[in-house]
């Protein structure tokens, strides 16, 4: 019953997580797949997790058509799945990838930011923060197997990982293109990018809202390796073996040492960051920019 209530609740994200946490320490374990099915009232969950006990590696497939956009529902299911793996001590590595053709993730679901109430925007933004916090602070080795385009929030998701492998297909692009939509990447997006590519590349990438093709992304260090499309997942699995050869405790403490200041910055400003987002995104001028961008996306398709 508690699970159903959480599933029905519009802001059921944290209650779902706390329900999940309490269950996994007790005798009842609810599969994230089941949760996803119940929430979406569909037989197809938005994330699919294949966990191989023998290697300790899980592959999380994002499978939310058409473009794995990060809606509130998607983020909720995604975070539940990651949380469950994090709590399972036998899971040491996580590979993120997409089941959708040509797209890793289109980033935040633009429709979650357009024409929504301030309350709803706040709940949504908290879920975006939660995804970032879970991934950026994960004790697992995380590898992004980027088998398609990955703009904005999709790029952010991959930047939280320890290593990025991208399909060498010039039609794909990756980057934090927020300024092209007339919006501003928040400080923790900026910090994550700067921690990866350095201040100068981050400054230019963010101001111009640049989307890079795979070779350009490799050149500035936004991704670590390019491979033919059909080898993205196998290369991720091979790379994972190398990372898992390092003793967990030494690697985890090192990871935490590198990332802690960035994580603590968001944690200490979390509420203010939500307020900033809500104030910014609900402005008439920003809503107008978003509307134009949505129309442009639709026209481009036509
Ligand atoms: N959200 C919602 N719907 C989307 C999104 C999205 N991010 N991206 C695409 N769609 C929709 C399209 O509108 C289209 O819908 P429909 O079928 O109804 O017309 C459908 O998905 C398929 O899209 P395409 O035909 O464009 O698919 P392609 O395979 O040709 O291209 C791409 C895939 C490359 C992903 C392309 O769709 C694209 O470039 N999308 C836009 C991506 C983007 O700009 N995302 C930015 C989101 S903002 C963000 O993540 C960070 C915001 C930080 C906020 C800070 C404020 C303070």
- pLDDT value for 42: 61
Ligand 1 atom, smallest distance to 106 CA: 35
Residues 212 and 217: their CA atoms lie apart, in Å, by 5
Q: Is 153 a catalytic residue?
A: yes
Q: Of the listed 108, 181, 210, 290, which one is catalytic?
A: 108
Residues 66 and 180: their CA atoms lie apart, in Å, by 22
* DSSP state letters, 47-115: EEEEEETTTTEEEEEE--TTT--B-HHHHHHHHHHHHHHHH-TT--EEEEEE-STTBS---B-GGGTSS
Ligand 1 atom, smallest distance to 177 CA: 44
| Binding site membership of 150 for ligand 1 (Cβ less than 6 Å) | no
* 125-169 tens-digit pLDDT: 999 999 999 999 999 999 999 999 999 999 999 999 999 999 999
Nearest CA to ligand 1 atom 34: 149
| Binding site membership of 44 for ligand 1 (Cβ less than 6 Å) | no
* 255-282 tens-digit pLDDT: 999 999 999 999 999 999 999 999 999 9
Q: Of the listed 12, 178, 210, 290, which one is catalytic?
A: 178
In the chain, the largest separation of any two C-alpha atoms, in whole Å, equals 53
Q: What is the DSSP letter of 166?
A: E
| Binding site membership of 110 for ligand 1 (Cβ less than 6 Å) | yes
Quote the ligand 1 centre to 248 CA distance (angstroms).
37
Quote the ligand 1 centre to 107 CA distance (angstroms).
7
Residues 203 and 190: their CA atoms lie apart, in Å, by 8
| Binding site membership of 214 for ligand 1 (Cβ less than 6 Å) | no
Ligand 1 atom, smallest distance to 301 CA: 25
Q: Of the listed 56, 153, 154, 209, which one is catalytic?
A: 153
| Binding site membership of 184 for ligand 1 (Cβ less than 6 Å) | yes
**Alpha carbon of residue 103 to chain centroid:** 13
Q: What is the DSSP letter of 179?
A: G
Quote the ligand 1 centre to 110 CA distance (angstroms).
7
Nearest CA to ligand 1 atom 20: 66
Q: Where are the beta strands (DSSP E) in the chain?
A: 47-52, 57-62, 93-98, 141-146, 150-151, 163-167, 174-175, 225-227
Question: Using an 8 Å Cβ cutoff, are 274 and 123 in contact?
Answer: no
Residue 300: which pLDDT band, with cuts at 50, 70 and 90?
confident
pTM value?
Answer: 0.89
Nearest CA to ligand 1 atom 25: 301
Q: Is 178 a catalytic residue?
A: yes
pLDDT at 5 over 50: no
Quote the ligand 1 centre to 295 CA distance (angstroms).
11
Residue 11: which pLDDT band, with cuts at 50, 70 and 90?
very low
Residue 8: which pLDDT band, with cuts at 50, 70 and 90?
very low
Nearest CA to ligand 1 atom 22: 66
* 162-194 tens-digit pLDDT: 999 999 999 999 999 999 988 999 999 999 999
């Amino acid at each position: 019953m508690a699970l159903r209530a959480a599933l029905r609740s519009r802001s059921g994200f944290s209650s779902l997580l706390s329900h999940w946490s309490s269950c996994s320490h007790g005798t009842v374990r609810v599969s994230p797949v089941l949760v996803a099915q119940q929430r979406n009232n569909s037989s197809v969950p938005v994330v699919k997790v294949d966990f191989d006990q023998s290697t300790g590696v899980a592959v999380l497939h994002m499978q939310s058509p058409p473009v794995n956009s990060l809606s509130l529902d998607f983020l909720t299911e995604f975070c539940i799945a990651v949380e469950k793996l994090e709590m399972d001590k036998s899971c040491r590595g996580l590979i993120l990838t997409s089941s959708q053709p040509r797209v890793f993730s289109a980033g935040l679901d633009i429709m979650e930011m357009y024409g929504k109430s301030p309350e709803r925007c706040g709940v949504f933004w908290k879920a975006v923060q939660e995804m970032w916090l879970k991934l950026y602070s994960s004790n697992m080795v995380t590898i992004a197997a980027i088998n398609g385009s990955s703009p904005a929030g999709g790029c952010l998701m991959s930047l939280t990982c320890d290593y990025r492998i991208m399909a060498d297909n010039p039609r794909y692009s990756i980057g934090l293109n927020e300024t092209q939509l007339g919006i501003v990447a928040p400080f923790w997006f900026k910090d994550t990018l700067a921690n990866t590519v350095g201040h100068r590349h981050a400054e230019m990438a963010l101001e111009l809202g640049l989307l890079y093709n795979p070779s350009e992304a490799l050149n500035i260090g936004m991704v670590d390796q390019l491979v033919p499309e059909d080898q993205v997942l196998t290369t991720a699995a091979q790379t994972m073996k190398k990372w898992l050869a390092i003793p967990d405790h030494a690697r985890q403490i090192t990871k935490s040492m590198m990332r802690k200041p960035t994580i603590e910055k968001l944690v200490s400003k979390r509420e203010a960051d939500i307020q900033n987002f809500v104030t910014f995104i609900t402005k008439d001028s920003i809503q107008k920019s978003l509307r134009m961008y949505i129309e442009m996306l639709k026209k481009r398709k036509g």
